Amino acid sequence: MKMKQIALLVAGLSASAAAFAAPVTVAEIDAARSAGTLQQAWISGASAPTRTVYEGWVGSGTGVGCDSGTNTIFSTQTGTAAVPGAIGNFSAYACKRGGVVSVLYHTLDGGSLNAYTPHTVGTKLARVKFVGTGNGCTSSVNYVDPTNAENNAQVFKGCTQVGIALPGTGATAASNTTNANAVAADPFAPALPVGGFSDVEAGLFSSTIGGGDVSARGVESDANVGQVFGVAVSIPLYRALQAAQGLSDVNASTFDPVNAPNITKTQYVTIAAQFGAANGDWTPILGTASAQKVILERRVPTSGSQASSNAFFLQNPCADGAGASLNPASAGDTAGSYVVRE
């Protein structure tokens, strides 16, 4: 699936890296704000490409992107994780770009659709608090990229979050009010995302939740980054599928790719589609009934991964006719031996 980028308005100044560069400090961020030279932006959307987004922000260190050795990351997450993409949904990246202190706030809450919704339906998101003095950060670790030292950074953890995480089903009037007030009370950082990243184009999301035709709101362009996804199953189901398909590993504890079982697209649809034949019955998958519940783990409606699944498996909203544009099963369809978790 192709990832889309909408209106990423982040200034990129060209200059060589300064000698003896060091990670940007809170004091330098404060000083730049006071001097009126601080460059800031806020983006939102998909979580899957986070590390790629960070590395795109950093650039090559040779006049494109951040000056070498000046990277600092701020995250609301606690603990020792340091790799972008594994440090929670609310982060900010700071560095010097041509000697100019710059900060990019990055919110992943709610997934791909929220690259668009702040501009289409007025969704209000949370973010990291302004990363100058009083940011609330409680600890720091170092991020060391063994493949590219340009990405190395000091990572501050436990920083204050402005606003609340969205409900799993998406933004509500209450969450919008809370986040709007919280962001307004933190005026030194950006008030609205300028754009973001989505795993899929807006047209794969319903216009009723902020997708559809967004051409009047901004520009979509390919970021030329691919994402791979597949169907994952529990170990008991993996073994049951092997048995049904006449496959087995040496001692039933290994996972030899040669003996990997398969779920066809048609079979998966019977599980994932609303009112599908396998909504509580394993017969379409295993050939026989089972007393075990059918449990479907899916992403929330705002997720690009879920939108991709809908498009590929359910042909929704990409086709018409019998067997097309099927609705995905949701948590509200849970009943008896059929359980859907979002």
Domain regions of the chain by residue span: 2-226, 235-341
Q: Per-residue pLDDT tens for 248-263?
A: 887 778 899 999 999 9
Q: Is the pLDDT of residue 125 over 70?
A: yes
Query: Is pLDDT of 13 > 50?
Result: no
What percent of the chain has a predicted confidence (pLDDT) above 90?
Answer: 83
Residues near 228 by beta carbon (within 8 Å), at least 6 away in sequence: none
Cβ contact 193:116 at 8 Å: no
Q: Would you state the pLDDT for residue 321?
A: 82
pLDDT at residue 62, as a whole number: 64
Whether residue 247 contacts residue 261, with contact meaning beta carbons closer than 8 Å, is answered with: yes
Query: Which residue in this structure is represented by tokens 């359910």?
Result: 314
* Coil, strand or helix at 266: helix
pLDDT tier, 63 (very low <50, low <70, confident <90, very high otherwise): low
pLDDT band at 159; cut points 50, 70, 90: very high
Q: What is the mean pLDDT of the chain?
A: 91
Place of tokens 């990832």: 3
Question: DSSP letters along 105-159, please?
Answer: EEE-TT-GGGGTHHHHT-----EE--SSTT----EEEEE--TT-GGG-EEEEESP
pLDDT at 20: 57
**Per-residue pLDDT for 225 more than 80?**
no
Residue 4: predicted pLDDT: 44
- Which pLDDT tens digit goes with each residue over 163-186? 999 998 899 999 999 999 999 999
Does residue 61 carry a pLDDT above 70?
no
pTM (two decimals): 0.85
- pLDDT of 14 reads 35
Question: Is residue 52 helix, strand or coil?
Answer: helix
Angle of helix 265-272 relative to helix 304-313, nearest 10 degrees? 120
- Residues linked to residue 222 through DSSP beta bridges, in sequence order: 4
Residue 337: CA count within 13 A, CB half-sphere: 14
Distance CA 201, CA 307 (A): 9
- pLDDT tier at 16, thresholds 50, 70, 90: very low
